[in-house]
Amino acid sequence: MELKTGKLYMINGPVVKASNTSSFMMHEVVRVGKIGLIGEIISLEGDRATIQIYEETTGLRIGEPVQSSGKLLSVMLGPGMIGNVYDGIQRPLEVLRSRSGDFLKRGVEVLPIDFKHEWDVEISIKDGDTVKEGQIIATVDETSSFTHRIMIPPGISGIVKNVRTSGRYAVDTVIAEIDDGNDKYNLTMFQNWPVRTPRPYKERLAVDEPLITGQRVIDTFFPLNKGGAACIPGGFGTGKTILQHQFAKWSDADVIVYIGCGERGNEMTEVLEEFPELKDPRNGKPLMERTILIANTSNMPVSAREASIYTGVTIAEYFRDMGYHVAVMADSTSRWAEALREISGRLEEMPAEEGFPPYLSSRLADFYERAGKVAALGNENLGSVSIIGAVSPPGGDFSEPVTTHTKRFTRCFWALDKSLANARHYPAINWLTSYSENIGDVKEWYSKTVSKDFFKLRNEALALLNEDDRLQQIIKLVGEDVLPDDQKLTVRAASLIKVGFLQQNSYSKVDCFASLNKQYEMLKIMLVFYEKARELISLGVAISEILKGSILNTLMRMKEEVSNDNVEKITVIGKELDSFFMALKKKYSGKPHNM
């Protein structure tokens, strides 16, 4: 195909316009200027094109050439991605650094995957086999923690010929030929896919299994499905990034794709320094052996920030198609929306609420709706993409457009509270304003896997917390001393759940992750305490007598003293609880009710 050349006639920051582009196509990647800056066509009108450039445009001049590539903005998918750190358009930052130093040069073209490295490939097809799109035909042990499954690209099927034997090959080696009767296709270990087009699948499935995070407030109260989408809104300093770090480390996803979208440089530096040091709790090996990082800090070009979330979710869909469960962390979509707003302003588009473009809602929908659990093409594997998007509303105002629209497309809303964060309550998820619409979907799974009364206990605990919120309004006015003993007990029991259950220590070896069994047993014994205490108070026992013992402190310390592999210890605490209340009941049985 003959590539055409246009000419710049307008430059406005990252947005430029070129003439003589009638043969160019929408969303095509182009090289702009003598330096060869990477850009993407976002508008075509007659023979004129509007281009957003993914690099700094300083020094660009009117009249410089715009070179067509004939390709859409795409990612390269194949062995070698795991453990890599990319920028917003999938350029490996370490390779860029080796070529241009600490300050990245513009116009540098690098491949996302190392074509020189050879992999041990186990090929599972032979000459004469009929293959179909999405079929897994080879495997590569990409890391000691992850097996890469080589698939037939979508849209290709036929009879294979000239199949190589298993051995060591580079990713661009032709390992087989596919003949569909009309054309022949050379099959390599990598494929390209346009980032703005969702990858196809056989069937979309019901999301009926939770993504286990080990965070009690989420797994017990506001669960997220595998294949679901969640929103974490919170102001500055409320712990969004730390919470996403915990998800990356502890969630039971097979692959983690972490997108640092417009975050501050020091926060992204933390991620880049900490992730290689983190140990995978599954096998004790480095967590980076099943993680991909996309770093696009706030001082990088805004256009690349806009593209970064599409790059991340397309990579996630690729691993989903292999039959893996993938978790995508987008931190933060507010910075992404700000990039949209800046580009829209330079395009002189009519602004909508708070200056955001009118299509903000549809762009958010395009992103979050790429989450899901699917049956993959060409194989029997089930895979999922779960998206957890952080939102940074200015001043913690959840009524601003990004938060409001995100709530429409996510079924989990984990609202971070500034007052909880200031009180060092982690995770600072407000249990009164957060919600999950997935309860009905996962109820059966929890009943079979954990206990039939799991959600009964959850509902009782939430009712207790809501009653405590009502009582706190009274306490603010007249103080706690005027409350009757049964209401004082409600306040103390709610405090036990808030501090002893909902609050976790992300730096504690015991408390940073809680298994579902531990979560269930902890909540169960806390509610047993509440019920037994209520019974005694109804018999006239003063609450001061109930709180005098050490049992409440034992329940408070349970999260740190009971490990996930020693949950039976809670049974011992339960016997101690029974003995305490039995002794108290015996002591006050037969006494007047005003004792």
CATH of the domain at 517: 1.10.1140.10
Q: In whole angstroms, what is the distance from residue 151 CA to residue 318 CA?
A: 10
Peptide bond into 427 cis (omega under 30): yes
Choose one of 127, 158, 192: the last residue of a domain: 192
Q: In whole angstroms, what is the distance from residue 362 CA to residue 372 CA?
A: 18
Q: Is residue 408 a part of any domain in this protein?
A: no
| Residue 511 and residue 477 in one domain | yes
- The mean predicted confidence, pLDDT, of the chain is 91
Q: Is residue 378 a part of any domain in this protein?
A: yes
Across the range 124-133, mean pLDDT stands at 94
| Residue 254 and residue 328 in one domain | yes
* Predicted TM-score (pTM) above 0.85: yes
pLDDT digit string, tens, across residues 518-548: 999 999 999 999 999 999 998 888 898 888 8
Tell me, what's the pLDDT at 593?
A: 46
Is a pLDDT exceeding 80 seen at residue 239? yes
Tell me, what's the pLDDT at 2?
A: 65
Q: Is residue 106 a part of any domain in this protein?
A: no
Q: Is residue 98 a part of any domain in this protein?
A: no
Number of structural domains in the chain: 4
| Residue 159 and residue 305 in one domain | no
| Residue 188 and residue 208 in one domain | no
| Residue 152 and residue 234 in one domain | no
Tell me, what's the pLDDT at 301?
A: 80
Is a pLDDT exceeding 80 seen at residue 25? yes
Q: Is residue 568 a part of any domain in this protein?
A: yes
Tell me, what's the pLDDT at 100?
A: 81
| Residue 246 and residue 348 in one domain | yes
Tell me, what's the pLDDT at 185?
A: 94
| Residue 270 and residue 381 in one domain | yes
Is a pLDDT exceeding 60 seen at residue 516? yes
Q: Exposed, middle or buried: residue 173 (CB in 10 Å: 0-12, 13-18, 19+)?
A: middle
Tell me, what's the pLDDT at 286?
A: 82
| Residue 175 and residue 207 in one domain | no
Query: Is residue 222 left, alpha or beta, with left meaning phi > 0 and alpha meaning psi from -120 to 50?
Result: beta
Tell me, what's the pLDDT at 591?
A: 56
Q: In whole angstroms, what is the distance from residue 405 CA to residue 420 CA?
A: 25
Choose one of 371, 396, 421: the last residue of a domain: 396
Is a pLDDT exceeding 70 seen at residue 319? yes
Across the range 85-98, mean pLDDT stands at 89
Is a pLDDT exceeding 60 seen at residue 592? no
Q: In whole angstroms, what is the distance from residue 25 CA to residue 237 CA?
A: 43
Which is more confidently placed, 149 or 591?
A: 149
Residue 58 belongs to domain with CATH number:
2.40.30.20
% of the chain residues with pLDDT over 90? 73
Is a pLDDT exceeding 50 seen at residue 594? no
Enclosing H/E stretch for 484: none
| Residue 124 and residue 214 in one domain | no
Residue 289 belongs to domain with CATH number:
3.40.50.300
Q: Is residue 433 a part of any domain in this protein?
A: no
Q: Is residue 375 a part of any domain in this protein?
A: yes
Enclosing H/E stretch for 578: helix 569-588
**pLDDT tier, 590 (very low <50, low <70, confident <90, very high otherwise):** low
Is a pLDDT exceeding 90 seen at residue 132? yes
Is a pLDDT exceeding 80 seen at residue 467? yes
Place of tokens 């080990």: 214
| Residue 162 and residue 220 in one domain | no
Tell me, what's the pLDDT at 557?
A: 94
Closest to 79 measured CA to CA, from 134, 109, 117, 110 = 117
pLDDT digit string, tens, across residues 329-387: 998 899 899 999 999 999 889 999 899 999 999 999 999 999 999 999 987 789 999 99
Closest to 249 measured CA to CA, from 446, 509, 438, 558 = 509
Across the range 553-567, mean pLDDT stands at 94
Q: In whole angstroms, what is the distance from residue 581 CA to residue 537 CA?
A: 11
| Residue 349 and residue 481 in one domain | no
Q: Is residue 85 a part of any domain in this protein?
A: no
| Residue 217 and residue 357 in one domain | yes
Across the range 481-489, mean pLDDT stands at 92
Is a pLDDT exceeding 60 seen at residue 1? no
Residue 187 belongs to domain with CATH number:
2.40.50.100
Domain containing 144 equals 114-192
Single-letter amino acid, residue 468: D
